[in-house]
Structure 1
């Protein structure tokens, strides 16, 4: 429940014959004391996927499991400490947006028993950094979002340059336009600082993305549902229970 293990989520994907009993991964928890959590994970799930002639022109294979190898590691850029990085998104110009919590780690006392934020002070530092990676040398080109967020979580930028964010502290989803070195709110969905399960409410919304004229929000830590919003107005269109 502390900031040290808040993002300990574990996701697996594998195919299964529908005629067989449904498999379940035992444990599904983060605690080190659980030694049985991996007992039902398919053995071949640890092996890299074999090359496929149909995709050789598209895929760069490597010998690392899951096809991932670390090329660089940054805890600060241009002498600017990143803090807790909670979200990443690409800009149309190829730059990277970093969504961060510079001084507001989500600890055990961040919320009360009703999921209401205990410290209702916005973050005074920039929480959105636009970064240009030139030959693996990162440079901060913009610092955005001072005094606008409580506990940032998810971020997305569409092809038009609008930014969409979730804030689990304020229980809201927002659309932003970028003007130079500042952002202006286009709309906000949810009731600020008020969690809830009903229409027009969120409870710790997490991820956000845009598809055509809709914005989809995973809502999230409390409500266990996906909400569809109108991308232009922020009005609710549909809710999908998980």
Structure 2
């Protein structure tokens, strides 16, 4: 069953349950009905049906609206973003298509927590080898329990062949304790987060010592000099970079190329409440930083402030629909955002294509169990998704071509 078929069946089930329980206002088991949720479900079904009909007659996505947006006054209308209600033409939106039997050989990875693509188009993965993150990994103060075991002895970073998925080379042994995020910038530098060490690093490929370190080793904190289980890094072509300081602080830190802190997102009086920013990606053309705001079950895109400080840090686009669920990974190409959710109640676990300009999900694809990260190649030809599990069969990388 495809992601869309699963979604339609699930929504139909939800409405059936709502009808059965309407007289008592309770679901089986005594759970109160959330009328707002079911209103959203009904609206989503209507929207999906309109999108389906539009696809048949090739009508523009801008015609698919449940109701026109409300404008409070003339000033608000004048201050709307220039890209509001100007969706990306459907013909120019790439569709991820799974590459069957990739990789051509089976690998024995640990939990594959991150994937990125180097400037030559090679996918690179970051994995935990024999390590697992469970209830015994950290104490209540977020201190890593297992420091005495030392760093992971195996290579934690593997460069793969884009055509076959075969391992071409590897490094990162005896360096990391609990891998999480990895981003490769346009110059080939590796930007890495380790949740056990509460640090973020910049490395040259195969480097044994970091070029830059943010955070205090094994010392979690919420000051501007500390990180606490950082999740992800996004790097601009200008050299500025953003760290999602993820599980504890639920904030984004913006730095200049030399590692000087420029600002925190959000900061008073900005209204942007994040709950576990799990992954981030930059859309430099739109000057947006799009965040997988995991526990808020949305993708939110504040202004990045790379082109102008006007409105920096303020939410410029928010994508939150009933089928999105807990968002674990985001990646971008051009003005399009790709996302994957993770296990969320009864929702299907799949991929999403998002247009931040119209704040809409414009496509569903893939079928996953427990995806954790994703990346798009520099030329936009391929998209990779990683999954984590408890054995080698469930720790893997999927490749999609963008057709």
TM-score of the superposition, structure 2-length normalised?
A: 0.44
Q: Residue 223 of structure 2 aligns with which residue?
A: 198
What is the total number of aligned residue pairs between the two structures?
A: 198
Aligned with residue 138 of structure 1, among 160, 165, 172: 165
The 8 Å contact of residues 178 and 184 in structure 1, kept in 2 or not, is answered as: no
Q: Which runs of 5+ in 1 are unaligned?
A: 1-32, 62-67
Could you tell me which of 190, 210, 235 is aligned with 1:210?
235
Q: Cα offset for 1:230?
A: 2.5
Residues 48-88 of structure 1 show CA distances to partners (whole Å, capped at 9, x for unaligned) of 78455974553345xxxxxx5543476x8755411211111
Deviations 1:30-62 (A, max 9, x none): xxx99979643533359678455974553345x
Determine which of 113, 121, 124 is the counterpart of 1:94.
121
Distance, in Å, in 2 between the alignment partners of 1:240 and 1:101 is: 29
Confirm or deny that 1:178 pairs with 2:205. Answer: yes
Q: What TM-score results when the alignment is normalised by the length of structure 1?
A: 0.71
Alpha-carbon distance in structure 1 between the residues aligned to 2:92 and 2:194 = 36
Unpaired segments ≥5 residues, structure 2: 1-30, 62-87, 267-271, 273-403
* In structure 2, distance between residues paired with 1:178 and 1:206: 20
**Counterpart for residue 384 of structure 2:** none
Alignment of 1:169 with 2:196, yes or no, is: yes
Residue 205 of structure 1: SS of its match in structure 2?
coil
More relative contact order in 1 or in 2 (CA 8 Å, sep 6+)?
Answer: 2
Larger Rg: 2
How large is the RMSD of aligned CA atoms in angstroms?
Answer: 2.9
Partner of 2:187: 160
Distance 1:70 1:220 in 2: 30
* Structure 1 residue 198 displacement after superposition: 0.4
SS in 1 for 2:136: coil
Give the Å deviation of 1:205. 0.6
Report the Cα distance in structure 2 between the residues aligned to 1:159 and 1:73, rounded to whole angstroms: 29
Bigger mean CA deviation after superposition, 185-194 or 34-43: 34-43
Partners of 2:165 and 2:121 in 1: CA distance: 12
Matched, 1:240 2:257: no
Displacement after TM superposition at 1:99 (Å): 1.2
